[in-house]
Amino acid sequence: MYHEAVLLKESIEGLEIKSGGVYVDATFGGGGHASEILKKIGKGSLIAFDQDEDALKNKPDDKRLILINQNFRYMKNFLKLYRATPVDGILADLGISSHQIDVAERGFSVRFEGKLDLRMNRRKSLTAARIINEYSVKRLMDIFLNYGELSNAAKIATEIERVRLKQTIQTTKQLQEAVLLCVPRGQENKFFAKMFQALRIEVNDEMEALKDLLAQSVDLLRSGGRIVIISYHSLEDRLVKNFFKSGNFEGNVEKDFYGIPKTSFRLITKKPVTPGEEEIQRNGRARSAKLRIAEKI
């Protein structure tokens, strides 16, 4: 295990684990949430997913656990393959792991100089370097505006274009230097965090993968089963909130003839659960975490 799982107690309690049940850990990572689930399922089973092959090193020797080296967007196919449906609970922690951040060559952290990579699945061909050097100025602008929520996205894209016409941008440091004129004074860390977040979302197609996970959960969960999602930025949290509330990603609640909302879920958390000060002090990764829980009707 290579990091402390965020909101561990709250997320495991939120699953309401039943002994003998079938559970899904959609984001195995360092195995923190999985190990707690295994403690509670008795003779049940846990099917876990992680597209990062480094996560496989953290698999415990436990016959109740099946760990699949794939993106959770393929959850439905694999659960049917293993005849594991319906399931009693699904958990997903959407954050990147400390391990990914701390390995410089993967490019996840602005603290180190590394390749512009940002792939969670290193079998994929699309890297952050390809996006920076090959995407049109318009496409770059859209990524930084929509996924990084950076108001000066047009200026950022234009500066990148100016620099890449002279030389290929290959490293995290080269990218930071290319956009220095766009960085608000005193807000360097926040700016670069948002910029790299935007690139990471594009590289890994994170928003569409999350939509796939949420949409599949309706068919996969048994009635009374729980889904627990921990998100780290407003784009993810909005999708989760809207889907739990309305069954669609826009948050438009449809009602039947009697005025009763048409939705597949009952909200367990009306507002997101956030970490306490003690957890944030202990684990800085937890700072922006938001936990939402829903139950299949």
pLDDT at 172 over 90: yes
Write down the pLDDT at residue 284.
85
pLDDT at 97 over 60: no
Better pLDDT: 99 or 268: 268
**pLDDT (tens digit per residue) in 199-209:** 999 999 999 99
**pLDDT (tens digit per residue) in 109-168:** 566 689 999 999 999 999 999 999 999 999 999 999 999 999 999 999 999 999 999 999
pLDDT at 2 over 50: no
Write down the pLDDT at residue 261.
85
**pLDDT (tens digit per residue) in 44-65:** 999 999 999 989 999 999 999 9
Cα gap 89→59, rounded to integer Å = 20
Domain with CATH 3.40.50.150 in the chain: 8-98+206-296
Q: CATH says 8-98+206-296 is which class?
A: alpha beta
Write down the pLDDT at residue 35.
96
pLDDT at 246 over 50: yes
pLDDT at 179 over 90: yes
Mean pLDDT of the chain, nearest integer: 93
pLDDT at 85 over 70: yes
Contacts of 190 (CB under 8 A, 6+ apart): none
**pLDDT (tens digit per residue) in 136-146:** 999 999 999 99
Write down the pLDDT at residue 100.
46
Domain with CATH 1.10.150.170 in the chain: 100-204
pLDDT at 233 over 80: yes
Write down the pLDDT at residue 45.
98
pLDDT at 107 over 50: no
Task: Say which CATH superfamily domain 100-204 falls into.
Answer: Putative methyltransferase TM0872, insert domain (1.10.150.170)
Write down the pLDDT at residue 20.
98
